[in-house]
Structure 1
Amino acid sequence: MRVVLRYLLYGLLWSGFDLRQSTADYRTTVTSTSYGRVKGVVVGDGSERLYKYTGIPFAKPPTGELRFKPPQPPEAWNTTLDATTTPPDCPQYIPSELQQILHIRMNLSEDCLYLNVYTPSVADGAMSLPVMVWIYGGAFVGGSSSTYDGSTLARKGVVVVTLNYRIDALGFLSTEDDALPGNYGLLDQISALRWTQKNVGSFGGDPGRVTLFGESAGACSVSLLSVSPLAKGLFHRAIIQSGSLLTPWAVTYPSTSVAPRKLAELIGAKVNCTLEDSTQFVACLRGVKFMDLLDASTEVQEVQPFRMVLLPRIERTFGVIPDLPRKLLALGGFEHIDTIRGFNNNEAVALKQNLSAWMTKDEFKNVIKSKLARFTFRDLDGVVRLFEDVYLGHISDPALTLEQASAALTDFSFAAPTLIEAKMASEISPDRKHYVYDYNYRSSISDLPPWATAQHADEVPFVFGSFALPLWRGVHAPSQEDVRVSEQLMTLWTNFAKTGDPTVTTPAGAVEWRPSSSSQPRMLMINKVSELTGSGRQEAVELYGKLLPLIETSPVGVVVGK
């Protein structure tokens, strides 16, 4: 349970936090969209003026007969829509322990397909700003657009859009056929991007300069949409933070030990829906209360070899991911966009929360085995020995063994897939710019062991310049160094959104960031003083390069598609 809580905490699943103050103290503003007029609020004056619109629908409520269907365009409205209140979060299971810790006020509804817009300008013909569309993380089972206040980032001269999408069973349950193909969450993201193309001009944004960015499951989503035929042309740059289409948990692979249809059967059985005929099964599920369905989903997932089991999948019904992600990448994925992609130096250090300050060799093997248990490797012990050879060698010190276990899991789930994706992208699209980073900054509130710097999601509050709950977990204000690193990160990200080149040239903190290529790999080590280095972790890349073909094939060596 503590592993799940840790990932919920560091996956930023604080649903229900109202990030807005009362609108009574704000001026209001009205903007026209293709569906009708929307009322937002105006905050600040002069160069600090910002327009906020929260809770704009980009699709019909996916309720009733629209549950388990692709999102439909919203109905137009005749009156002015109030876009000054926090929209509901998509249904998700939040453990009671976490609710008590964070005093969460939950506001969950299937009517959740809304987005928020933060802009320093409205359409007055004076300017057309680059757009940054954020996809939240949360293991594809949790998250909320309203967790991420885009105000500070927007003041850097961009329009920020944050969107909700269906998650958990409502977003990714599948019977592996046309009755319930899955991928509804990804279809929601695509629908929000289409809305952005059609309407962001009314908020001062340039639909021809859209950067899609996200973290963790959101990063995997960004990466997958970058090679999806359904999303082509909807965005022009991508920032991929701690995730990749090659990550072992980005999609359900053929070697996954529990197939999506079996999961659907197990979940359905808990709510008295029998999976014999898929169409009848889906009709039964549409009559189940969403919290009952989520409770059933959680019960089933918690007893699986690995928590993240309801994922995007390869399917040809909708065609969001019509083939293996690596194949889509090899066929020309990323050829139409520039990218930033990277990872945090110690993504998996949360492992320490479940063990003492040391680890035996047997414990190391058990940790690796548990990580690999989601896949049906023919020779699991042989795969574990590969990890031992790379990460332990002749190490016998239990403290170093713990560090190496954290490194192994960081590399397997984040670093190696990212570096392989970067190399493939630069080979396939040498005319595009592909930047790579390793986030290495230890914040002033870090409670990590001395050997660690940045774990999963540590960079997110710095990207948004948000040093308040829920993003900032500290009991005190950020240090001057925290603020400076945040300014650096926001400038890198927004420079990239504006021009495709993230390099910072201000005298206060110049950072030269040159793109990586297959002939000259480069990686920016982001820290108090950021430095450009060669690409590292070569042994990890080679190991994952051996494992990925095994993950991509079924136990009998046959790749399964639809």
Structure 2
Amino acid sequence: MTPRTTVCTTEQGAVRGRLSVAADGCVASFLGVPYAAPPFGPRRFLAPGPPEPWRGVRDATAYGPTAPHAPYAPPFDTLIPENEIPGEDCLNLNIWTPAPEPGAGLPVMVWLHGGAFSNGSGSASAYDGSAFARGGVVCVTLNYRLGSDGFLHLPGVPDNRGLLDQVAALRWIRANIASFGGDPDRVTVFGESAGAMSIGVLLATGLARGLFRRAILQSGACHHYLRPSSAALITARLAEKLGIEPTVESFAEVPLADLLPAQAELRAEVSARPDPALWGEAVLNLMPFEPVTAGLSLPGPDCGVDLLIGSNREEYRLFLAPTGLLDAIPDSRLRATTAAYGLNPDEALPVYGTTRPAATPGELLSAVATDWFYRIPALRLAESVPGSHLYEFAWRSPQFAGHLGACHALELPFVFNRLHDPSYAPMLGTRPPQALADAMHTAWLSFVKTGNPGWPTYGTITRTTMVFTEAPTLESDPRSQERLLWEGVR
């Protein structure tokens, strides 16, 4: 049978997508549509340029190239969904819509993937937007530059090129999404980990002001960035590894086959030798590539964006359980890391131990690091923007003998309602609860359509939080004593 197709028009030319018809509705997908010029050759390390127009009808039935990146190191390469498609035209996006025609006026969701600003893509099957489209919205995923091309601090060229790519994509969406049935004035940007941290920077800096109306930040907020002095240390060390000068011209001459492995080795070095003299602020979050700025202020009540913000209860277990470190962390490292985060170990660790009386040093470290990385930044953002909604994902994976817990990235298959995507199986196990996916997916759709996910807003009196477990429930100020430890610290 000949596949059904449909055509929509953009400012650059017409695109032909695939039309899928099922009992629960019709979804059209348009894949690999360029939103900016290929960032190579004379455009390398520059702000994104406009995409070139084309003649005729461009095929958009297969994913386009992904931004160059090295693979995750084991065991994360089998746990975190990712794919790689070679090619220079990597600044592209993917659209799923139930109404591929002008005038439908549907709300729009724009996904920013995670990956520590060094990995990931918007073109993995894990982020297929069909379920959102069947729910009555236009879903868009995109690729942006990663690693040194996207975030390395280099003299003479703009910082944060990966963020500028995201802004360019949002501008393209504003100009073109009506042709795919979307309403450019009803855009929600949502992201996880580095994607959510990107949204935090966009909110705090105003770089994308007016380009989205709502935002969902999953496991990331406004606290992760490098000041220029720390970013310069990263640049110098990467140049030293490659045997080049720390200049744009020198980096541009390095083949990707040499540059990408060097980036991966650099990330491993930061983790193995977390010395502030070598890496500056990167020793705290172990991410050598991230947004570069002199500082960030929380956006405040006048940001003009509705927010849904949250984190997973045991985020940091992802980085400890699969490697065996969860049971190998000594008490000395627990105390040193707690102090590096700004807490007094003698005061803080007994508080964390109260609700975890049998916890190992590794399990306590996971709890402290989860708060420093994810939960406290989420709370601070919610506190700064009245009317925000807050959630916590608490369903525990059975994988790794149950030690993986409610870890980082575990909420993704529930949000996208893709529990049976094979790429999620190593993290989910064999019997993830579909009812929980239905609840989360429905809440995200409700927020996108109405600004209300289905529970009261967060305030500093009640601190109402939706806790997503097999039986989602509202809680008031979860783990309040642990939260109070961070007042004035984080």
**TM-score greater than 0.5 by the shorter chain:** yes
Matched, 1:161 2:140: yes
Identify the match of residue 260 of structure 1 among 228, 231, 241.
231
Q: Which moved more, 1:200-209 or 1:79-88?
A: 79-88
Matched, 1:107 2:85: yes
Matched, 1:435 2:386: no
Amino acid of the structure 2 residue aligned with 1:238: A
Query: In the TM superposition, what is the alpha-carbon distance from 1:358 to its structure 2 partner?
Result: 4.9
Matched, 1:487 2:457: no
Aligned counterpart, 1:455: 407
Identify the match of residue 465 of structure 1 among 404, 409, 417.
417
SS at match of 1:146: coil
Aligned counterpart, 1:128: 105
How high is the TM-score relative to the length of structure 2? Answer: 0.88
Amino acid of the structure 2 residue aligned with 1:369: A
Matched, 1:369 2:336: yes
Asked if structure 2 preserves the Cα contact closer than 8 Å seen for 1:417 and 1:541, the reply is no
Aligned counterpart, 2:279: none
Q: Distance in 2 between matches of 1:58 and 1:368?
A: 47
SS at match of 1:473: helix
How high is the TM-score relative to the length of structure 1? Answer: 0.77
Aligned counterpart, 1:251: 225
Q: Distance in 2 between matches of 1:345 and 1:393?
A: 16
Identify the match of residue 485 of structure 2 among 543, 556, 559.
543
Q: Distance in 2 between matches of 1:104 and 1:37?
A: 29
Asked if structure 2 preserves the Cα contact closer than 8 Å seen for 1:140 and 1:217, the reply is yes
Q: 1:241 to 1:53 in 2, by over 3 A?
A: same
Identity of aligned residues (%): 34
Question: How do residues 40-189 of structure 1 correspond to structure 2 at under 5 angstroms?
Answer: 40-45=17-22, 47-94=24-71, 97=74, 106-125=84-103, 127-147=104-124, 148-175=127-154, 177=155, 179-189=156-166
SS at match of 2:299: helix
Asked if structure 2 preserves the Cα contact closer than 8 Å seen for 1:365 and 1:384, the reply is no
Aligned counterpart, 1:556: none
Instruction: Report how many residues are paired.
Output: 472
Q: 1:25 to 1:419 in 2, by over 3 A?
A: farther
Asked if structure 2 preserves the Cα contact closer than 8 Å seen for 1:416 and 1:537, the reply is no
Aligned counterpart, 1:3: none
What runs of 5+ residues in structure 1 fail to find an aligned partner? Answer: 1-23, 276-280, 315-322, 427-432, 504-512, 549-562
SS at match of 1:71: coil
Aligned counterpart, 1:388: 349
Deviations along 1:241-281, whole A, 9 cap, x unmatched? 111112xxx21147xxx821121122123333213xxxxx2
SS at match of 1:212: strand
SS at match of 2:101: coil
Identify the match of residue 242 of structure 1 among 219, 238, 263.
219
Asked if structure 1 preserves the Cα contact closer than 8 Å seen for 2:113 and 2:191, the reply is yes
Aligned counterpart, 2:299: 329
Q: Distance in 2 between matches of 1:99 and 1:449?
A: 17
Asked if structure 2 preserves the Cα contact closer than 8 Å seen for 1:90 and 1:112, the reply is yes
Q: 1:389 to 1:296 in 2, by over 3 A?
A: same
Matched, 1:289 2:252: no
SS at match of 2:108: strand
Aligned counterpart, 1:352: 321
What runs of 5+ residues in structure 2 fail to find an aligned partner? Answer: 275-282
Q: Distance in 2 between matches of 1:423 and 1:69?
A: 36
SS at match of 1:547: coil
Asked if structure 2 preserves the Cα contact closer than 8 Å seen for 1:60 and 1:72, the reply is yes
Aligned counterpart, 2:12: 35
Aligned counterpart, 2:447: 496
